[in-house]
Structure 1
């Protein structure tokens, strides 16, 4: 007796069971061994294969460069640095700036830049024209020295007088328009400031004068005046004092030079710049005075001149 037959669900009787299907091989494809490259690129981004090796980064050109040594402290610095890591000194200051030559060298060496010759051209010899600048300058200097020789001694003497200390120039003769008894004009030039000259008339004494002469011409530079009767303050106010004097300098050739001198109402010396060349005579005229009144005369204790002998 047969047992019950086993049937496959959905498969008719007598039909063999289906076998698993295999992928179809493309035409012309041969079997590939392990390790061989595939015939077609795998899926994914174009131009990228899984076995493509990553590219190495570019080599650093400064890696093989020698370190920069600081000229100041000797420390080694990485290539490409501008300042030293230790002392901050400039590592590559560059070429020094060009020094401009002096003006006289630029004038002498002023030349036009030479132009190069073309290939195959034969350079022509040029005759250099004589330079007249230097000989002409030498001639001008020699001419100036030749014409200045007669005046050189005078110029040197003038410079010596201006730079040297002035000397005392006492007059050889002096007189006044008038003089009170015991107060002659010579008292104003005797070197003592406790004796004085006073005119005979009392009051403002406008127009009264002192006059002195020199035996040789002098170059006048300064004048010192002691107004009043004395350089001491307790005796200074006993008489009137000149407030303004007019100095008239007469030269050897007869020309005159006038200067007004304003004095302070105080005891002691007062210095003034009074300049005159070849001076042979000086007149001091009283123009106004301090402390005038009845029975008071204008007094001048001392007058001194300073300069150089001509």
Structure 2
């Protein structure tokens, strides 16, 4: 009975130099050329890149933002991360938000700078070139509002709150106004507050150099003396103060205003 033939023993052959990888990177351990996409040597299985060189340089932020970074070949056993649609959407949402903030900053930063300057600017009195009123009580015309005296006053000559009555100040040259001080009543003295009704809410209609209109709502307290209110408008040619309501209005009293003072930036601000 013939015997069972023995199988040939396998022969281990070392990989030789293949023509298609003749120019591949050599293994730093055994000098065997390898394909450029390999991470381990085909012969000795040692890493083809030294451990100190494995950390690649971080891509610039604009490449990471727009997805322009180079993607390396995944290592054996690693599952490449699938790119999700939401990653791209999130990127463009971020770009849109940044662009919106840039546009808003370009629009509002100049106003913010001007408001900061106005806040810290030194104030100087500004006198209007003309003043008139809707109507006046005899002997108490609107010029008394800007005479620098606190014991003279203007009144419309009608009782109750004087709602709808107005005073209008004009400026020949466009003027930047920062503050206004209004002294309600017939005097700045507290013992004369009961002699007239006191303006409570006043609407300031401001005409600019280019003809545009701005408004300010001023609310005055029921007290004696001048009351300062911020204005902060530039290139003003006309301001109309319209009375909307009054304190202590009655059929025996008319509303009265002793003084209106305007303040703008001092010339010292420009010279400094």
For 1:222, which of 155, 179, 183 is the aligned residue? 179
1:168 correspondence with 2:116: no
Q: Mind listing any 5+ residue stretches in structure 2 that lack a counterpart? A: 1-27, 32-59, 61-110
Q: Which has the higher contact order (CA 8 A, sep 6+)?
A: 2
For the pair shown, which has the larger CA radius of gyration, 1 or 2?
1
In structure 2, what is the Cα distance between the partners aligned to 1:185 and 1:281? 15
1:257 correspondence with 2:219: no
Q: 1:192, CA displacement in angstroms?
A: 0.8
- State whether residues 121 and 265 of structure 2, in contact with CA within 8 Å, keep that contact through their aligned partners in structure 1: no
Q: Which residue of 2 aligns with 1:243?
A: 200
1:234 correspondence with 2:194: no
- State whether residues 169 and 308 of structure 1, in contact with CA within 8 Å, keep that contact through their aligned partners in structure 2: no
1:279 correspondence with 2:236: yes
Instruction: Compute the TM-score of the two structures, normalised by the length of structure 1.
Output: 0.49
- State whether residues 218 and 308 of structure 1, in contact with CA within 8 Å, keep that contact through their aligned partners in structure 2: no
Counting matched residue pairs gives 178
Q: 1:181, CA displacement in angstroms?
A: 0.9
SS of equivalent residue, structure 2 residue 192: helix
Q: Which residue of 1 aligns with 2:160?
A: 203
Q: Mind listing any 5+ residue stretches in structure 1 that lack a counterpart? A: 1-117, 122-132, 134-153
SS of equivalent residue, structure 1 residue 218: strand
Q: 1:223, CA displacement in angstroms?
A: 1.0
What is the CA deviation profile of residues 197-226 of structure 1, one whole-angstrom value per residue up to 9, with x for unaligned ones? Answer: 000222221100000011211122111111
Q: 1:250, CA displacement in angstroms?
A: 0.7
In structure 2, what is the Cα distance between the partners aligned to 1:277 and 1:256? 12
- 1:143-162 alignment to 2 at 5 Å? 161-162=118-119
Q: 1:274, CA displacement in angstroms?
A: 1.5
Structure with greater proportional helix content: 2
Q: 1:295, CA displacement in angstroms?
A: 3.2
Q: 1:163, CA displacement in angstroms?
A: 3.0
In structure 2, what is the Cα distance between the partners aligned to 1:252 and 1:261? 22
CA distance 1:202–1:277, change in 2 (3 Å): same
In structure 1, what is the Cα distance between the partners aligned to 2:112 and 2:190? 45
Q: Which residue of 2 aligns with 1:288?
A: 245
- 1:95-110 alignment to 2 at 5 Å? none
CA distance 1:159–1:233, change in 2 (3 Å): closer
Instruction: Compute the TM-score of the two structures, normalised by the length of structure 2.
Output: 0.55
SS of equivalent residue, structure 2 residue 144: helix
In structure 2, what is the Cα distance between the partners aligned to 1:166 and 1:253? 25
In structure 1, what is the Cα distance between the partners aligned to 2:161 and 2:114? 43
CA distance 1:159–1:202, change in 2 (3 Å): closer
What is the CA deviation profile of residues 111-158 of structure 1, one whole-angstrom value per residue up to 9, with x for unaligned ones? Answer: xxxxxxx69x9xxxxxxxxxxx9xxxxxxxxxxxxxxxxxxxx99988
- State whether residues 118 and 178 of structure 2, in contact with CA within 8 Å, keep that contact through their aligned partners in structure 1: no
